[in-house]
Amino acid sequence: MLVRFWGTRGSLPVAPRARAVEDKLVGALMRASGRSFADESEARAFVNEELEFGEGHTYGGATTCLEIEGADNSFVILDMGSGLRELGNDAFRRMASGHPRVFNFFMSHLHWDHIMGFPFFGPAFDPNAHIIVHSGHADCEAALRRQQEEISFPVAFDWLRAKIEFKVLTPGERYHVDGIDVELMPQDHSHISYAWKFSKNGRRLVFSTDAEHRMDDIEDTRAFESFFKDADLVICDTMYSLAESITLKADWGHSSNVMAVNLCHGAGARKLVLFHHEPTSSDADIDNLFAETIRYEALSRKDRRKLDVICSYDSLEVEV
């Protein structure tokens, strides 16, 4: 399986402002002071190898939308945040060269940042497309219809031309969807959210966003360590630092980088992806959270297996 990140930001889409881009350029020019580059590839190597990721790039600002490549005959998409618009455009390119027009969606929950991309998803207007929306929420269809009511959006849900169906799945059951085994689990979040586990050919991927894990909740820790057990990749809500998550932002429905590392260590997971970045965080703030997480992982590892930590950004691809 291959995971492609189309949107990694939490709560609200963001874009860097003019001054943020200026600061990156000034920083890079200062670092390169006195250097000259023979060609573009030398300049590119300097940006990629000598600058922090957030100095030479941006983590991006589209809200939650991921794609898993690896199903037999369909696109597999996790959540419908604003990143879905670009995925839709890319899907048209791939369908033109023969990719089946079938879309299996899996929804963490129905908050606006996780559904706002659907009205801009071009394939929903394609009469030959088939969209199946899998959710733990019985009110998933109502949420999608409601955001396209005339008071909020000019194109009604009933004007969409694709065949669209909704399937409500039950936690604890194991499903087989187009060549991939799928399980879900409820999480602590306003109106509940669901973690998803996808398994194929012995590889396991967990998608767990918008979940509040508390350090002193032993039952929750056991349940998630078991759901994450031996996962090859865990994509986790790490919106806050530990300090924020236990003081100012307790009960806001999100987790910290520290809790994510603890759960992955307890589960023996191999890789953790930091995800659902706080919209007020700058690229430098996310660089810092990433560095802090790597340090915490090394300090807390003890005799456990090393957990590789990856920080997600819009357009990242990870092989599972």
Q: Which stretch binds Zn ion (CB under 5 A): 40-48, 68-76, 108-116, 131-139?
A: 108-116
Q: Which stretch binds Zn ion (CB under 5 A): 9-17, 98-106, 200-208, 298-306?
A: 9-17
Shortest gap between Cβ of 206 and Zn ion (angstroms)?
A: 17
Q: Check: CB of residue 241 under 8 Å from CB of residue 280.
A: no
Residue type for 120, please? F
Nearer to Zn ion by C-beta: 116 or 231? 116
The per-residue DSSP string of 263-316 comes to HHHHHT-SEEEEESB-TT--HHHHHHHHHHHHHHHHHH-TTSPPPEEEE--TT-
Shortest gap between Cβ of 267 and Zn ion (angstroms)?
A: 23
Kindly state whether residue 79 participates in binding Zn ion, applying the rule CB under 5 A.
no
Q: Check: CB of residue 286 under 8 Å from CB of residue 277.
A: yes
Q: Phi and psi of 165, rounded to 5°?
A: -125, 155
Q: Which stretch binds Zn ion (CB under 5 A): 26-34, 107-115, 225-233, 307-315?
A: 107-115
By CB under 5 A, the residues from 112 to 151 that bind Zn ion are: 113
Q: Check: CB of residue 128 under 8 Å from CB of residue 99.
A: no
Residue nearest to Zn ion (CB): 111
What's the Cα-to-Cα distance from 121 to each of 82, 116, 149, 220, rounded to whole Å? 9, 10, 16, 35
Nearer to Zn ion by C-beta: 194 or 224? 194
Among 210, 212, 220, 283, binds Zn ion (CB under 5 A): 210
Q: How many residues bind Zn ion (CB under 5 A)?
A: 4
Kindly state whether residue 283 participates in binding Zn ion, applying the rule CB under 5 A.
no
Q: Which stretch binds Zn ion (CB under 5 A): 66-74, 84-92, 110-118, 244-252?
A: 110-118
- Going by C-alpha positions, the residue among 109, 100, 102 that lies closest to residue 78 is 109
Kindly state whether residue 237 participates in binding Zn ion, applying the rule CB under 5 A.
no
By CB under 5 A, the residues from 291 to 310 that bind Zn ion are: none
CB atoms within 10 A of CB 161: 12
Q: Phi and psi of 91, rounded to 5°?
A: -60, -40
- Going by C-alpha positions, the residue among 161, 102, 156 that lies closest to residue 126 is 161
Nearer to Zn ion by C-beta: 113 or 126? 113
Shortest gap between Cβ of 111 and Zn ion (angstroms)?
A: 4
Give dist(CA 283, CA 35) in Å, integer.
Answer: 25
By CB under 5 A, name the binding residues for Zn ion: 10, 111, 113, 210
